[in-house]
Structure 1
Amino acid sequence: MSGQKLNTLVLPGYLNSGAGHWQTRWEALDPAFARVRMPDWDHPSRDAWCRTLDAAVAAAEAPVVFAAHSLGCLTTAFWALHYASAAQLAKVAGALLVAVPDPAEPHFPPDAAGFAPVPLTRRLPFATIVVASSDDPYGGVPFSQSCANAWGSRWIGLGARGHINADSGLGDWDEGRSWLASLGAARWA
């Protein structure tokens, strides 16, 4: 499978990702990036989002990587640990998990049903990188580090970049795309 093109499923968080967000910019740069369209961006339900992700993985050709932001990160973790079959998991090369939110934080959206407690009892069954900001109002560094430790993820701190979204000034965020590509390179080489 050497040299095989990675198919990237883009998993935005609460309220979706707008025009200036790095996820949206990545989709515009590469047709292999496809946004997973959640049934309700304003009132996320863990069950509905995980089932939607499951259908997207089923429809995608392997190898698949996830570019997840915020609530998309929690969706990825819940899906991998509680919803996915072995056949589905075998298609996934890895996940870039950016700005993992903490449901215990006061800014966590009250409309996000079922995303607590965060599953921290097992490693994720594919390679992962957790990227965090030191001033993210939705999840602090200690929380993101505990997620990375529990999930067997590489942890990367970006310094003060807020919620690592359109307001963070990342542009096309080439560094993030490089980390994402590294996830598939090891497994599918």
Structure 2
Amino acid sequence: MHSEAIRYLIVPGWQGSADEHWQSHWQRSLPNAERVEQADWLTPRREDWVDELQRSIAADLRPVILIAHSLGCITVAHWATEAPLELVARVRGALLVAPADVQRANCPAALQNFAPIPRAPLPFPSQLVGSDNDAAASAARALELARDWGSEVAILDGVGHLNVQSGHSRWEQGFAYLYRLQTRIEQQRQRRA
């Protein structure tokens, strides 16, 4: 992507991303990839997760693309509403995969402190990828989040929560959405130049 060195920051969801999860494979595959490590993956506190995301972004001056899954997507949305402008400026874009609707009726109690979900447009380009059979967020809800956040959206057929349990260990098809996001970022940079 252009000539600047992009850092990829993996933002896992609830319970983290195990070694077999596509986020872990991507972390091993992408150059300059790092992961946000939360102190408590099982009983997440919104403030702690947002603070750790901020620390991870602030720890390196290079521009970053966020690659978030599930509760990680909601963490990104919360961070974007309160982050200092100098850190927001480092984020070139975000790939938001299978966002968890923490306002749904059957949401696990451990995730409910992330509600309400911010509705403000994200201050950087984003690509949301959802599913028409994800128990964590219906297709209609994923479309609503994408509209609120100003994200381009893709709703995939029958892929579940896009995790190991739904058969997406490596999820190499997902690189197409990352590439699409990066192309959009580059086009915006060229228009501004």
Q: TM-score, normalised by structure 2?
A: 0.90
Residues 14 and 41 in structure 1, CA contact (< 8 A), matched pair in contact too? yes
Equivalences for 1:143-154 in 2 at 5 Å? 143-154=141-152
Indicate the residue corresponding to 2:55 in structure 1: 55
With over 3 angstroms needed to count, the CA separation of the structure-2 counterparts of 1:107 and 1:21, relative to structure 1, is farther
Aligned-residue offset at 1:113: 5.0
Shift of 1:107: 4.1
Shift of 1:162: 1.1
The equivalent of 1:137 in structure 2 is: 135
Instruction: Kindly state the Cα deviation for residue 146 of structure 1 after the two structures are TM-superposed.
Output: 0.5
Amino acid at match of 2:13: G
Aligned partner of 2:76 in structure 1 is 76
Does 1:11 pair with 2:11? Answer: yes
Deviations 1:16-69 (Å, cap 9, x if unpaired)? 011221101111223411110012101101100000000100012322001100
Aligned-partner SS, 1:37: coil
Counterpart contact for 1:124–1:151, Cα < 8 Å: yes
Contact kept? 1:136, 1:163, Cα under 8 Å: yes
Contact persistence 1:80–1:125 (CA under 8 A): yes
How much has 1:171 moved relative to structure 2?
4.0
Residue number in structure 2 paired with 1:167: 165
- The residue type paired with residue 64 of structure 2 is V
Q: Could you tell me how far apart the structure 2 residues matched to 1:33 and 1:182 are? A: 18
> What is the CA–CA distance in structure 2 between the aligned matches of 1:176 and 1:56, rounded to whole Å?
23
| Corresponding pairs, count | 187
For 1:107 and 1:13, locate their aligned partners in 2 and report how far apart those are by CA, in whole Å.
17
Structure (1/2) with the larger helix percentage: 2
Gaps of 5+ in 1: none
Does residue 108 (structure 1) correspond to residue 77 (structure 2)? The answer is no
Q: Distance in 2 between matches of 1:135 and 1:175?
A: 18
Question: Is the contact between residue 131 and residue 156 of structure 1 (CA under 8 Å) also seen in structure 2?
Answer: yes
Q: Is the 8 A contact 1:107 1:137 kept in 2?
A: no
Secondary structure of the corresponding residue to residue 114 of structure 1: helix
Q: What secondary structure is seen at the aligned counterpart in 2 of 1:10?
A: strand
Aligned with residue 177 of structure 2, among 176, 179, 184: 179
Higher relative contact order (CA 8 A, sep 6+): 1
Q: TM-score, normalised by structure 1?
A: 0.91
Match of 2:26 in 1: 26
Between 178-187 and 98-107, report the one with greater CA deviation. 178-187
SS in 2 for 1:74: helix
Query: Do the aligned partners of residues 182 and 38 (structure 1) sit closer, same or farther apart at CA in structure 2, a change above 3 Å counting?
Result: same
**How many percent identity over aligned positions?**
36
